[in-house]
Amino acid sequence: DREGIDTTQLAAEADRLAHDGKTALFAAVDGQLAALIAVADPIKRSTPMALTVLRDMGLQTAMITGDGPATAQAIARELGIDHVVAGVLPDGKVDALSRLRNHGPVAFVGDGINDAPALASADVGIAMGCGTQVAMASAGITLVRSDPRLVVDAIRLSRATWRNIRQNLFWAFIFN
């Protein structure tokens, strides 16, 4: 659009790719449309199971992404994600977290430079171990592997720890 290149001849195919969860990129040569390229981040094999367990734990899931709305909605449909905020820059991710806080505390999982502000502003920021240094520095928790099932483990561990702390505070109060 910025370069004034007409993409209408490939627009329908770009829309189809987006609805399949792919991001369409147009390429031009000498000011003329030359190609349509589709890129997609593969969904980790463990992601569907991790999301199912999170929902079984009574948690809602959200995807906050810079990807376009059609691409994000396609992925959300495939994975059963509850809320989608798409087409946002890093500050938009922080704003989306603020809106989601209306439903309660939020955890944010990310691995990229663009995730760092949201990781820092979430009630719990969880960085993937293969992520960027700034993501890991911004998060409260860094997972040792980039396996979404570890998010489930971290939540279970934190809940068990909190139960233990509450129980021990109660006993300490009674016996002191």
Confidence band, pLDDT 50/70/90 cuts, at residue 147: very high
Residues 126-154 have a mean pLDDT of 94
Which DSSP state fits 63?
Answer: E
Q: Provide the percentage of residues in the chain whose pLDDT is more than 70.
A: 97
Query: Which value, to the nearest 10 degrees, does the dihedral of the CA atoms of residues 127, 128, 130, 136 take?
Result: 10
In contact, 84 and 104? CB cutoff 8 Å = no
| Residues 12-33 pLDDT 10s | 999 999 888 898 999 999 999 9
CA angle, 121 as apex, 77 and 52 as ends, to 5°?
Answer: 30
Strand 23-29 versus strand 32-39 pairing type: antiparallel
29 and 52 Cβ atoms separated by less than 8 Å = no
pTM (two decimals)? 0.80
**R_g of the chain, CA atoms, integer Å:** 20
The terminus-to-terminus CA distance of the chain in angstroms comes to 71
